[in-house]
Structure formats: C-alpha cells, structure tokens
Structure 1
Amino acid sequence: MAVVSVSNYLSLLDEDQTELKSFSLEKLDTLVDEFWAEIASNSIDKIKKLSQNKQFPKHELASLVLSKVYYNLSDFRNSMEFALQSGSLFNVLSKSEYVETLLYKFIDEYIKLRNLSEKEPINSHLESIVMGMFDRCFKEGSYKQALGIAIEARRLDIIEKCISESGNVPSMLSYCLHICNSSVGNRHFRHSVLGILVNLHLAQEKPDYLNVIQCLIFLDNHIQVATILLSLIKKDEDSLLLAYQIGFDLFQNSTQQFLLNVRERLPQVDKKSTESKSSDSMDIDIDSGNTGDKQEKERLEKLHLILQGDISIGMNLEFLYRNCSTDMNILQSMKATSELHKGAIFYSGTLFANALMHAGTTRDSFLRSNLEWLYKSTHWTKFSAISSLGVINKGHIKESKTLLKTYLPGASVNATPYSESGALYALGLIHASHGEEIIDYLQEKLHINNAILHHGASLGLGLAAMASGRDDLYEDLKTILYNDDAISGEASGLAMGLVMLGSGSQKAIEEMLAYAHETQHEKTIRSLAMGLAFLMYGKEESADVLIEQMMSDKDPLLRYGGMYTVAMAYCGTGNNDALRKLLSVAVSDGNDSVRRAAVTCIGFVLSRQPEKCPKTIALLAESYNPHVRYGAAFALGIACAGTGQKDALDILKTLTTDTVGYVKQAAWISMAMVLIQTSKELVPEAESARKLFNTCISDKREDSMSKFGAVLAFGVIDAGGRNCNIQLHSPSGHKNMNTIVGIAGFLQFWYWFPMTHFMGLALTPTSIIGLNKNLEMPVFSFKSNCKPSYFSYPPESKASTQSQTKNIETVILSYSRKTKLQSSRSAMNIDQEMKEQKEKEEKEQKEKEDKEQKEKEEKEKEPVSERKQNPARVVPKQLQFVVFDDSRYQPIKKNPAIGIVMLKDLTPDVPEELVTKEKPEPKPDVGQQSGTHPSSSASNNTNNTSSSLPEPSTPEPFEFTE
C-alpha cells in the first residue's frame, strides 16, 4: 500500500520514548524527498531540537533529515550546515542528486576558505567530506577531476598524490602543467605546483626534459637548467640534439638575464673562439683545457652559441631575407599620397610602414630608390627616418655599427644631433633583448652633453639591455633623468623601466615615484609612469600595492601608468580583480587619457583568452567618449592579434566608420593586427580590409589621423615581408616578453611618433627551420595537409601607373571628337555605333565570365596538400596541419612548434645535402647627405625585383587630319 502521508511518523516525535523518536526519524529519512513539504510545515522545529540534543542517540540522523528538508526548500546554506552536523551519515559515495549537489557546494566552500588571504580554521567535518570526495575520485579513477579540485583548493599533497597514483604519470604531468599555466591565478601557488612537477618529472625513468625546462623557466631556476644541459651534452647523440633543442627553446622563452645566468653556470669556453665562430661553419678547433675531452668541448661551445642567440637570430634573419614578399606598389602609393599632403604625418607614416613591412629583412631598397623624397626629412623626422633602419635590420647584430657608421656620433662632420640620436635608437632596435655587444658603446654615449643624443642613447640602451637588471645602467640613466630636461627625461624614465623589466625593484620604484612627483615636465612623468609599469612585468599580485598607489594618485599621468602596470603585471592571466579595476576606471575616471589606457589594457589581460575580449568590451566600443572607443579598438587588436576572429572584426568594422579620426585610426591598426597572416579563403575580411585601407589612404575627404592609421595598418598586416606574426604568448604558455613590451611601447605613439618603431619588437618570424647536429640546415621537407591557398601570401596589388596608361591609350583629341560628332549625325551612323557598343559590352561580359570560370576551375584543381622545404614559412594556424614525414630527418621534439627544430638523421652514413644560404650582407649606409639619405651608389638591390614601378607604355601612333 502506497504511503500518502507521514503524519503518523511525525506524531511519534512527540512521544517520550527514545526508541519511538528514533524509529520516526529512520522512516522520515527514507520518505523525506517525497514528503519534505509536510515535514517542513509541521515538525521542523521538533526535529531541530532533537538535532541539537547531543544526548539523543540519533541526533546526527535528525540533522541529516533536516539537511534533506532544507535541500528541497533550496536553502543550501542550512542544508550544508546540518549535513556537516550529521557526521558520517552524509555518505559521499552515494550517487543521489542530494549528495552530488551538496558535494559541489562543499567543495566550493572549501576552495573559498582555502583561498582566503587570511586563513580561517576549516570545519573538521567539511575537511573530512572533501577528503572523502578525493577518495571517491581515486577509487573511480577520476584523477583529472581530483587534480582540478586539488589545484583550486591549493592542496599540494593531493596534487602530488593525483599524479603519482594515476597510472599514467607523463600524461598527468602534461595535463597539470597546462592547467597550471592557464588557470592558476596565484603566482606563488603556481610556482609551488611547478616545483612539484619538476620533482615528479625528474623521478621518472625517462624524464621529459623539454617540459622540465619549461617549468624551470617559470621558476627562474637557472642552476638546475644548467645542470640538466651539462648532463645531456655528455650523453648520446639523441641527448645532444635534445640539449640543443632546449637551448633554442630557452632563447625563445626566457629573458636576457636568465640566459646569461645559465651560461655562467656552464663551463666556460674560449671567448675568442666563440666570437670568431660564424653561423656558416660549425667546425670548431678546441685547444686543450680543463673542460673535458675534445668532443665535449665542441658540444659545449655550440651550446654557448645557441644560448647567446647567435644561431637563432642568424637563422631568422636569413629566413626573412630570402622570403621577403613585400608589395612595393603599396609603398609607392603611400609615398605619392605623402607628397600630395603637407605636414610630416604622412611622411612619417610612410617611413614607419616601410620599416614594419621590411622588419628584420635587411632590405632597404625603398629608401634607396627614393632619395629625393628622403631629403625632405628634418629634425625629429630625420630621427625617425634613421631609427627606422633599426627595425629593418633588426637582428643584424654582427654588422650593426657598419650599417649605421655614417650616422653614429663623431662619424661625420655634417651629421646633426637628430641623425646621430636616431642611429643610437636604431642600434637598440637592432640589438633588442640581445645587447651584450653594444651596451657598453651606448652607455658611453650617455656621457655626451647633448639632450637630443641622450634621448636616442637612452632608448637604445633600454632596448639593448632589456630585462638585464644591471644596476650600473640604471644609475647612468637616473643621472640623465635628474638633468630635468624634457627631451632626455622622456626617454630615460622609460629606459630605466626597460633595463629593470620585471625586477620589481623596490629601490627603483621609490626613486622613480619620488621624481615623478617632483618634476614639472609631463613628458618625464609619463615616461616614468611607463617605466614603473615595466618594472612590474609578470609580477601579478606582487604589483597590487604599487597599482593601488598609482591608481589613487592625483596626477592623471601616474594613473595612466597605473593602468599599464595592471596590464604588465597581469598580462594573459585573465585575472578577474585586474579586469574589475580596469573596467571601473574606464567608466569613472575624470581624465580621458586614463580611461583610454584602462580600456586598452583589457586587451593585455585577456590576451590568452581572445574569445572573451569582444564580449567584454562590446558596450565600451559604443561609448559616447571617443577615447574609450579608441581604447576598445586597441584592446581587440591586442587580445585577438593574428586570430582573424569574426566577433572582433565586426566591432572594428563598425569603428572604422566612426566620426572621430583617431578612433578610426585605432580601428584600422587593430584590424590589421587581427588579420595579420590570414588569407581570404579562411577569413573573407582579409581581402576587403586591404581594399578599405587603400580607399582610406586615397580618399581626399578622409581625416588625416584616419589616413595615418590606414598607412600603419598596411605596415602591420604585411609586417616582416609578410612572414611575421604578433604572438603575445608562446605555445608552451610563456609570455612573449618582446611582443608585450613592444606593443605597450608602440601605443605611446599617441604622444611621440618615434615610439611606433617599438612595433618591430612585437613581430615574430613564422617559420620552421630544421637544423642537424652540426647546426646546419639540411635539405628536408614536410607535408602541410591543407590547400596551399589557405595560408599563402596575398596577391600583389597592381601598380597605380597601369590605370594611367590605359587612359592615355584611349584619349581622343578634341578636334577629332568635333569632326566625328559632325559626321555622325545621321541615324544610320548612330545605329551602327549602338550596335558596336552592344557587341563590345557582350564581348567584355563573355570575357569576364570566361575568366571567372577559369579561376573557378583552377581553384577546384588546387591540391589538397603541399610539401614545404627547409626553411619553410608556416603560420601559427597552419601548424595543426603539418606532418613531419621526411624519410631521412625526424624532429627530436614530438610536437614541434614554430621556430628552430633539431632534426635526427635516420641515415647518418649517407652524405648530407645542405640548403644553400642567402645570408644578407651589410650594405653601405642609406644616406650620406646630412647623415640621413640613401647613397645613390648603393641604390640597386638585386634581391628585390619589385622595388621599381613598371614603365608606362608609349602611346599608339596617330595621324592628325583636319
């Protein structure tokens, strides 16, 4: 018989006998899910009294019944409280909806208590329930679920247990590393987890040293890195290749100071031998010494070369040089526009665009073929022109002084301080983050008593010594700062932050903040504000004190710097507190520049989660304040760089029709950042965007600021000869320091145009370069399992002179036209002309249809895969289609990323065929007159056939008749 009421059981609760009350509770426990409403309305207080009576033997059962009643009432707080009081009666192994729901609630509460900054004591019953949940996961084999809970609850012991007992330790280690990098917000706890991962990796029979090294980079543990490298080069050939691969990964993912520390921990090699070693030949002669046998010394010397960066920089330089595919017609069109408009904005914009388009390629043919145009540069425009050579020749470290010898201080009596200062800035751009060879020279130039030279030398020194943490350089720059000159102070404050990048030095913070409050120069204050932001690069919660101090400052320039401090400290973390601060300032601060910076910096914080950025700033992009809209555009460009994300492009396309010029400027540049290295086959907007840029530049009615943005957009979208991308994070989870700092510096072009050159730092060559054990490029290939058009170069634009030629050919003299009109008045002639015109239109239509049909057929015939030859252009999205199927060479890395890949030779006895190198040679200086202009003697560049425009064809012969 079905139970229709529990009133009879509830009545037993009024009895005096304990047995009857206990019987009632047992029955109610089984029926509570059906009759909870009746229990709640009639007897909940009676059951509470029994629960609170510790003398009552079934008081825990009473608590369990109450918990279930409150659960059905959706009062989860009381339900959890009474469930805790029920002790062991709350069975975590039960699969009921009640238990599952409360378990998640308990886990959330436990995680919340464990993450409080001020630790509160945790209820022992809550602890036992959560531990029971972990035991349940272990029994069911749900180790990843347990690991996720343990990471959120910050239980290091459980994390280690989850990995050790999983039965598949390598897989769990990789999973934990991924979760740790993408989800763990607290930097201190993340480092604790990484320390456990290192120990577990090294405890394996065959450790995954590539992952171990990634962890050690995060931990800044150069001692253990050096120990591992030294042990690997003493083993077999596979271990040697692995050591070299680790060296290349270290150079790609760590700072200049970290690499120097690693090299100092390794046995030293003969410096003269290392310096004389070129990337053309890796045959090394080693003198006798104390570092081991000859073979070990050779390996050690090659490892030093890798860690110095000489190999990586040289290979990237050669790749960009040999694969440069810049569309010179675009540059000539920009130059023509700059000649039609007065003012330096278009002139400078074309210089910047040329520098970005040829960044790292060493090709300066555009400058050499436009000498007269370059003669127009004066003063700070001259500074920008010379410093643009630093972007073009980025990485040409061995020949940097030779390239710029005419412009460097003291080299020419006709040189001006602007050209000399630009040359010093160019040296910094060439040696960015790799300035060991040039730092001393730049440091010397700080002692020349000239504020303009101090500007270029400070910027150059800051770039060359980036993240080196050298106190002597910091002190020299501080001396320049204390001169209290606006020109030199604008660079020195920024350079101090670059040298001490990521150090979080308390001394530097106090000194820079103090001087920012003392000086009256806005340029210096803004420079110091950005310098402070760079000091806190990657510091996360350690930067909170400085952030709060700068955000609450009465000076808007320091509040502006506070926004960038948030961006640098929390870049890529997606930290909710950081986003909350930025969003609050974006809608509340009284200064437009601060609000603009706050919105822009949202892009940095969300750079690892680009899909979230459009939703976050969608409303801000519709703000009434143009500065907020400007910031929203750049936030999208930063967070979604290189993704081709449609949601971001939709917002940016709307902003390109804004009524304010500088908002459109930001939209053009950001659109180029999002679309960089995308094709029209994958992202249809890639083709239309280029047309929009061109239309904006040629439209006479367009605002000058908007045109400047379109010019820079062309430079960004075709950066590095169309072989570079913008990646704020590497595939292994590391922040790309050069890119982050480069974009942050580039954004300061709002105040100072030469800062545009910082974008050169943000460009990463997208190539796969295979090297053998001798660090040479063998001939090998791999397969890309997708249509070539998906990731091909965009088609070259047509030269503007072609349309002019066509017009010349169809010109009719006015006298001839008059004669023709007089003689064609008859109806017969008119009908004949109409017939001819119709036939002509039909013919043109047929030709158009035939052309479209031919293109369609060619597209259909396109192969579904292609083979790439070493060195190969591979864009980030293409990597998922790459298969290494070469019969002779296989990567030592299981899943190679973009960059240098060490190859294992499967047939070492067969002679190797090497790739013929096309190493760029140093060219004479671009100019001699006043130290700014191209040398006519070196104006020919045989390596770039597209540098000159096509000659117009001669008119057809005609006969003049009356």
Structure 2
Amino acid sequence: MVGLTSAAGLVGFLSEPDPALQAFALETLNDEIETVWTEVSGSIGQIEALYEDESFSHRELAALVLSKVYYQLQEYNEAMVFALGAGKLFDLENAEEYEDTIVAKCIDTYIALSAMHNPPASTSSAKQGEGDYSNANGAASALGSMSSPTTPFSHAQLPSKSLLSRDEETAEDSSAPGGGNAGVPGAHPHPLTLPNHVKKNLQTIIRRIFESCYEAGAYRQVVGIAVEARNMEILREAILKTSEEEKKRKGKAASQGLNQTEELMEYVLDICMNVVQERGLRNEILKLVLGLLNDIPNPDYFAIARCVVYLNQHAMASKMLKELVQKGDGRSLAIAYQLSFDLYENGTQEFLQKIMEELPESESADASGQSQANGDAVRPGVPGGANENENAQESDQLLSELQESAGPAQSLPSRTKPKPETEEQSKAYTNVRNILQGTTSIELNLEFLYRSSRSDKAILNKVRDSLEARNSIFHTSVTFANAFMNAGTTIDSFFRENLEWLGKAVNWSKFTATAALGVIHRGNLGQGQKLLEPYLPKDSQVASAGSAYSQGGSLYALGLIYTNHGTHVLDYLRRQFKATQEEVVQHGGALGLGVAGMATGSEDIYDELKNVLYQDSAINGEAVGLSMGLVMLGTGNVKALDDMIQYAHDTQHEKIVRGLAMGMALIMYARQEAADDLINGLLEDADPALRYGGIFTVALAYCGSGSNKAVRKLLHVAVSDVSDDVRRAAVMSLGFVLFRKPGSVPRMVELLSESYNPHVRYGATMALGIACAGTGLDEAIDLLEPMTKDSVDFVRQGALIALAMIMVQQNEAMNPKVSTI
C-alpha cells in the first residue's frame, strides 16, 4: 500500500461533526504519524479538544496521536502525559524508540514523585539534633540522637564481606529525590503536576513494567528503581518475589548450586554501600534487609553482620553469636569466629565492649578477672638463620603460645550474665571474646609483620650518615623513616645499634624518637609497657627539663602500641595525664589517650581532657583538641562540639584553635549530611584556622563517599578562599573524599597542579598521594614527576612524599618506575 503523502485531508476530517470521520482520521494519522507529523503539529489544538471531550468515544486514540506528535517535537513531558492518557492503546511491549522513550520518562517521573512523597523517616529528628552549636541547652537535649559512633572505612575497595561505618540519625534534604544522586541539584526532573487519572495510569504502567521484570527474572532492575524512588515496599516485594520464585524451582537451583535470593541481597547491600549517598535512605534499606534476612530459615550471617555494624545494633550482633555458639556444630562455630573477626575489624571499642557484656560469662573469664592487663606475650623470635625456614608446625606452636599467653579476653563483670551450658560452649565464648577484644588478630598480625619484614637497614644508615644529627629536623626525619619502615614489626635494632646518635636528640626530637617506639611496637600488647618502662614517668620522680620530652613521648608511644585497643592502659594513661603539671608530658599523655581510647565515646576521658584544655596552654592545648576528637571519633556528639567551638572562639592561641578544629572534624567522621550544619558554620567563620577545620570536616565527614556535593564545595573553596592554608587543605581533602575512586583524581587536580599558588600545587600533590596510595597509578605519577622539579621547596617535598605513597607495596615488575623514583 502506498504511504500517505499529505495529511491535509485527514486533518480536515478532524473538523467534521461526524465522530466516525474523526475516528477514521485519528486511526490513519496514528499509523502514518512518523511521515506526516509536521502537518499534524499545526492541528494539535483540535486533537486536544477531542481528547478533552468526554463524550468522544475515541479519546484514548486522540491522546496516543498527541503523544506521538509531542514526541517528534521532543516535548517528552507532554508526550508521556498523553501516552498515559492513551491507556491500553499505548503498547508497552512494542520495543520501538518511541515506546522506549516514553517508558524511560515514566520511570523517571515515577522515581521523582515517589522520592518526593517518601522522604527518609529520620530527617526531622536528625535536623533537630543539629541545631545551633553555640546553644548549650539545645546541644544537651540533642545529645542522645547524635551519639552513635562510626567505624573506620576499610582500605579495600569495599569487599563483599566488609563492614562499614554506621549511624542512626542523619540530616538530609527531604526535597531532594533520592538514590545515589541524592542532594545533587538536577539529578532528577522536578516532579510534574499530574491529574489524578494520569497518576493512576502512571502507576499502572509502572506496575506492568515491574511484572514484566519479574517474569523475565530481572529483579535487579526493580531493585534499582525502588532504591531511586525510596520505595521500601517495592524493594521488599522484589526480594520476596525472588524468594518465592526460588522455592518453586528449588530442586533445579539446588542442583546447579544457585541461590538467587542471596545474590539479590548481596546486590542490594552493594548498592546501599557503594551507590546510595543519603545516610537516612541507607539506614532504611539496611533495616529492611536486616528484617528480611532474619526471616530466612538459613540466614546469611555475614550480610546480617554488615547491617548490624552499620546500624549499631550490638544487641542483635550478640544474639547472633549466642545462637551460633549454642548450635555447637563445627560449621556454626566457624561462622561465629569469622563473624567475630569481622566485627572486631570494623567495630569501635564501645560497640565491641557492649557485645561482650551481653555474652554469657565463661568460667575462665570469671577466674581471670582483670588479670590480663599486661600479660607476658612471647616476643617473636629473631629473624634470619633457622627462623626464616621454620615449618608450619613451628609457626602453629608459636601462635598457640601467643594465644595462651594473652589469657582469656577481658569483659566487665556482671552477676546477671547467664553461664554457658557446657564446657564446649564456655571454651567457644572464651575464643569469641579473645577475637572480639582483638588479642588474636593483633598477635597474628604482629607475628606476620615480624616474619615478613624485609626492611633494609643499609638505607637508614646511609640517610643517617648523610644528615647532621644535631639538626633536629634531620634527626626527626631519620626517626620517622625508621618508624615507618619497621612499623608493627617490633624490630627496633636500628635504635639499639645507634644509641650515640639517638643521644643527640634534644627537646621535641627526643619526644619523637621515644614516640617512634610506639609505631615500631604497635600491637606488642604483652611487652609494650615493659619496653617503655625506662622512659615512662615515675610517680616518685619530678620530671627534669630534659626527661620531660622522653616521658611525654613514651606516653604517646604507649597509646600507639594499644591503638584502638586501650582497655589495659587507659587507666594508667589517665593517672599519668592528671598527675603531671609538665606541659610536654601532658601533650604526650593527651595524644596517648586519644589513640588508645579512639572512638570509645568516653565522657570521663573527654572531661579530663577538657579540664586541661581550659588551662589555655598552647603546648598541650593542640594535642588535647585532637585527642578530644579521637575519643569522640564519629559520634557526632553535639555537646562536645558546642564546648569545642565555644572555646575556639574564646582562646587567643592559634595552636589550640587548630587542634580544636581538627578535633571537631574527627567527631564528624563519616557523618556525611549530619555534618553539613557544622561545615557551613565553620566555613563562614572569619578565623582561617576554623575554616581550615571546616575543610577537614568535609574531608572526614564524606571520607571515601565520592560525594559530588563535597567535591564541589572543596573545589569552590580551593579557588576562592583568601587563606593559603585553607586552599591547600581544600585541594588535599579531595584525596580523602575520592580515595575509593583513585582513577578520577589525576584528571580532577590536573589544572590545580599547574596553579600559580604553590600551596594549591602542594595540595594537589597530597591529594594524589592520599587517593592513589599503593595503586602505582601511571596518570598520578606522570603528574607528580614534573612537580619534583618545582621552583618551590615544599612543593618538591610534597611531590616526593606523594610518589612514595603511590609506590607503597609496588615493585619493579608491577611498575618499572619504582627503581628510578
């Protein structure tokens, strides 16, 4: 049949009073619209009149013709609205460009409308928790909703079983349509104002899309739409549908080793952790997944653990461990031990302590009480000689000695705790406590680092001989190099063989040299205090001017040895911190308390630090400010923030202001949107030191999130602030926000690395070093190599440091440039 060459006659039929002629014209135009739409576009008004005439029996056909004309005119909103008005005449199954475009537009509109009507439930309470940081009363009342601690991010690229930081309350813009682009302007179209019957048709279309996805087994598409739309009911439905489908074909799935429900759960968790940027939405999804996982007959305990750690559900974690131990079979105990390792790896001291408090008290734990405060751990054998070729049996024996020497894990005594029913359960709970407390992981890690250490002492000797030892900067640099090369290995032979060189250290160089022992012996729990005994403050001895630096450094070293595992030494550090009036000793004691009590959220330690802060000493004030942040790491404690920002405005010491600013950034670690009010307040402050803190609050609050909002804020400050320190920090902070996407950083800082301002160039080097550490990324190296010849000395320094960070754990086979650098 010859195609229609002109629509003039058919358009004329639209003006006829006979409905049959009008219907004939519409049917013909609908079939030939791709060739005649230019002529029909002039008669849109007539066709719309037919569509709006409720007595016209072919209204849906008129709507379909209108939709196709608007589609050709690229007016996609109108095309979608009239396609919805066409009802069943719109063929969803026809895989043509027009239908695909309308379906995509329907999905976008559904997401925008649904996200607008489903804001995260925690928004209002979180915003109340933010308030005005200068208002002490408001801060106190909001403390409860802002005190959930968060855990450090893993350095890995979010492995499937990793556990992440978590939080219960957040603040976000409820008007921003959700999903991974939450809070990004223009990420979603503004929701259209649709008539009720059109909304009903939209729901029908979306339901048809979902049903077709279910029939095709494309559950992930439904999950993606549900997450973007913040529709938890659809998400629940998709997961349950998967489970039902799996039950129907259970035999076949079992024979092929497939588990579609577990795969979908893993996919949901992956989206939740990697894509969703709004913490409120993430919490809602995790709570939904957690509820569904608990209803499954054979739950995925590792997926549950990821949820409970993020949501701070310590009661559920302890319940899960108790259930596994009570089952008693080998597989259940193995899962319990692996869960304990995962929980320790990602939980805060406070979170783990609460889990241990809720576990039944084993008899061995009762007997040991507090006896293991500083047990005698076996120092690993000297490397070299016979030790290098030890077989597996010898290693196993040594590790078992380490395990026995550590004693059972410490827990708070409680008369209300139930007793294990059997001796096997008692032994299992003891093992779980050892793992949760970290003694097992720390000892295994210490042993591995000791046996695997291949540090080259000749390099250190060459650096030592090439630098003047009496110059404190040179002396400190060699000390740092030795500490980093031998970190966690317990190999301190360089210091022992160079006592004369070590004796040339004075003042802060002496402090640094002593503190370096803490880096080298990190995790040496059994011998830590004994090794530092010659340097630690003596109760009966008044510190002389010279020994004060060694004493302060030794307290810091003790904290480093027990980093994030400070149960055994916190009381000792607190006593020494309160007993001394020497500012340098207080400086070291504060830092030691901070790293040993990291993320404990201890109000007692915080109050003791605050009392020393109010003495207004610049020497110890900066360290105290940092330590207050470390103790409250990630808690978002509003009362602490209020105290710190108030004192930062009152003091005249810039060092104290800088320490407090960094401390506030640490308190807001991983809080994301919940930190926005504090960030805005700090960035608007007239004091550049507080703006500097505001930048690092952005860096830590959005650490590893890749947030577009955070990146835009940092780039804006990097080119607009009047303070070089703030601009340098802003560029540097890009590395913290984007360290999970190292490939994107070189392109982002390329222009900044050519800035006229040397501080911005230095920030660019550090951003590359932080984000690309250990990757050996060629693009980053190509940017940094010319900067090693920069005209400004500290830019050259930054480029060399960044190159070293990028080449960590690289060899010539992995990256040929290792040898030249």
Deviation at 1:93, TM superposition (A): 3.0
In structure 2, what is the Cα distance between the partners aligned to 1:646 and 1:115?
41
1:301 pairs, out of 430, 434, 444, with 430
Q: Greater shift after overlay, 49-58 or 204-213? A: 49-58
In structure 2, what is the Cα distance between the partners aligned to 1:335 and 1:115?
62
Q: Does 1:264 align with 2:357?
A: yes
Deviation at 1:236, TM superposition (A): 0.2
The equivalent residue for 1:419 is 550
Aligned residue for 1:600, secondary structure, equals helix
The RMSD of aligned alpha carbons is: 2.2
Equivalent residue letter for 1:259: L
Q: Does 1:273 align with 2:368?
A: yes
Equivalent residue letter for 1:103: V
In structure 1, what is the Cα distance between the partners aligned to 2:662 and 2:418?
48
Q: Does 1:437 align with 2:568?
A: yes
Deviation at 1:126, TM superposition (A): 3.4
Q: Greater shift after overlay, 408-417 or 498-507? A: 408-417
Aligned residue for 1:581, secondary structure, equals helix
The equivalent residue for 2:310 is 218
Deviation at 1:260, TM superposition (A): 0.8
Equivalent residue letter for 1:401: Q
Equivalent residue letter for 2:298: K
**1:822-833 → structure 2 map (5 Å cutoff):** none
Deviation at 1:271, TM superposition (A): 4.8
The equivalent residue for 1:150 is 226
The equivalent residue for 1:579 is 711
Q: Contact 2:361/2:418 (CA < 8 Å) preserved in 1?
A: no
The equivalent residue for 1:588 is 720
The equivalent residue for 2:780 is 648
Q: Does 1:254 align with 2:347?
A: yes
The equivalent residue for 1:22 is 23
In structure 2, what is the Cα distance between the partners aligned to 1:126 and 1:630?
53
Q: Contact 1:201/1:208 (CA < 8 Å) preserved in 2?
A: yes
In structure 2, what is the Cα distance between the partners aligned to 1:114 and 1:285?
53
The equivalent residue for 1:204 is 296
Deviation at 1:55, TM superposition (A): 4.0
1:190 pairs, out of 279, 282, 287, with 282
Report sequence identity in percent: 43
Aligned residue for 2:526, secondary structure, equals helix
Q: Greater shift after overlay, 554-563 or 606-615? A: 606-615
The equivalent residue for 1:232 is 324
**1:670-689 → structure 2 map (5 Å cutoff):** 670-689=802-821
Equivalent residue letter for 2:570: I
Work out which structure has the larger RCO, using CA pairs closer than 8 Å and 6 or more positions apart in sequence. Answer: 1
In structure 2, what is the Cα distance between the partners aligned to 1:101 and 1:635?
41
In structure 1, what is the Cα distance between the partners aligned to 2:726 and 2:113?
36
Deviation at 1:244, TM superposition (A): 0.9
Deviation at 1:88, TM superposition (A): 4.2
TM-score normalised over the length of structure 2: 0.80
The equivalent residue for 1:366 is 494
In structure 1, what is the Cα distance between the partners aligned to 2:728 and 2:115?
33
Equivalent residue letter for 1:591: S
**1:308-707 → structure 2 map (5 Å cutoff):** 308-339=437-468, 343-410=471-538, 416-447=547-578, 448-689=580-821
Deviation at 1:175, TM superposition (A): 1.5
Deviations for 1:903-932, whole angstroms, at most 9, x for unmatched residues?
A: xxxxxxxxxxxxxxxxxxxxxxxxxxxxxx
Equivalent residue letter for 2:347: S
In structure 2, what is the Cα distance between the partners aligned to 1:102 and 1:620?
42
Q: Contact 1:185/1:575 (CA < 8 Å) preserved in 2?
A: yes
Equivalent residue letter for 2:33: V
Structure 2 CA distance for partners of 1:557 and 1:114, relative to 1, 3 Å: farther
In structure 2, what is the Cα distance between the partners aligned to 1:485 and 1:271?
44
Deviation at 1:162, TM superposition (A): 1.8
Structure 2 CA distance for partners of 1:305 and 1:26, relative to 1, 3 Å: same
> Larger Rg: 1 or 2?
1
The equivalent residue for 1:785 is none
Q: Contact 1:113/1:122 (CA < 8 Å) preserved in 2?
A: no
Structure 2 CA distance for partners of 1:54 and 1:619, relative to 1, 3 Å: farther
The equivalent residue for 2:383 is none
The equivalent residue for 1:956 is none
Structure 2 CA distance for partners of 1:219 and 1:404, relative to 1, 3 Å: same
In structure 2, what is the Cα distance between the partners aligned to 1:685 and 1:215?
42
Structure 2 CA distance for partners of 1:296 and 1:425, relative to 1, 3 Å: same
Aligned residue for 1:398, secondary structure, equals coil
1:137 pairs, out of 195, 213, 235, with 213
Aligned residue for 2:634, secondary structure, equals coil
Deviations for 1:533-563, whole angstroms, at most 9, x for unmatched residues?
A: 1111111111111111111111111111111
**1:915-934 → structure 2 map (5 Å cutoff):** none
Aligned residue for 2:224, secondary structure, equals helix
Q: Contact 2:670/2:703 (CA < 8 Å) preserved in 1?
A: yes
Equivalent residue letter for 1:220: N
Deviation at 1:268, TM superposition (A): 2.3
Q: Contact 1:93/1:136 (CA < 8 Å) preserved in 2?
A: no
Where structure 1 has 5 or more consecutive residues not aligned to the other structure, the ranges are 690-962
In structure 2, what is the Cα distance between the partners aligned to 1:683 and 1:281?
38
Structure 2 CA distance for partners of 1:528 and 1:410, relative to 1, 3 Å: same
Deviations for 1:441-487, whole angstroms, at most 9, x for unmatched residues?
A: 11112222122111111111011000000101111111111111111
Deviation at 1:118, TM superposition (A): 4.4
Aligned residue for 1:43, secondary structure, equals helix
In structure 1, what is the Cα distance between the partners aligned to 2:740 and 2:439?
30
TM-score normalised over the length of structure 1: 0.69
Aligned residue for 1:280, secondary structure, equals helix
Deviation at 1:363, TM superposition (A): 0.8
Equivalent residue letter for 1:246: L
Structure 2 CA distance for partners of 1:68 and 1:497, relative to 1, 3 Å: same
Q: Contact 2:408/2:433 (CA < 8 Å) preserved in 1?
A: no
The equivalent residue for 1:56 is 56
Structure 2 CA distance for partners of 1:563 and 1:114, relative to 1, 3 Å: farther
Q: Contact 2:753/2:760 (CA < 8 Å) preserved in 1?
A: yes
In structure 1, what is the Cα distance between the partners aligned to 2:293 and 2:470?
64
In structure 1, what is the Cα distance between the partners aligned to 2:403 and 2:553?
35
Aligned residue for 1:679, secondary structure, equals coil
In structure 2, what is the Cα distance between the partners aligned to 1:289 and 1:514?
46
More helix by percentage = 2
Structure 2 CA distance for partners of 1:342 and 1:374, relative to 1, 3 Å: closer
Q: Contact 1:490/1:527 (CA < 8 Å) preserved in 2?
A: yes
Deviation at 1:122, TM superposition (A): 7.4
Deviation at 1:257, TM superposition (A): 1.2
Q: Contact 1:337/1:346 (CA < 8 Å) preserved in 2?
A: no
Deviations for 1:782-827, whole angstroms, at most 9, x for unmatched residues?
A: xxxxxxxxxxxxxxxxxxxxxxxxxxxxxxxxxxxxxxxxxxxxxx
Aligned residue for 1:14, secondary structure, equals coil
Deviation at 1:69, TM superposition (A): 1.3
Q: Does 1:97 align with 2:228?
A: no
Deviations for 1:108-154, whole angstroms, at most 9, x for unmatched residues?
A: 23333444544579742434333332222112221112211211211
Aligned residue for 2:27, secondary structure, equals helix
Deviation at 1:507, TM superposition (A): 0.7
Aligned residue for 1:584, secondary structure, equals helix
Structure 2 CA distance for partners of 1:417 and 1:473, relative to 1, 3 Å: same
In structure 2, what is the Cα distance between the partners aligned to 1:371 and 1:122?
79
Q: Contact 2:739/2:770 (CA < 8 Å) preserved in 1?
A: yes
The equivalent residue for 1:858 is none
Structure 2 CA distance for partners of 1:180 and 1:404, relative to 1, 3 Å: same
Q: Contact 1:439/1:461 (CA < 8 Å) preserved in 2?
A: yes
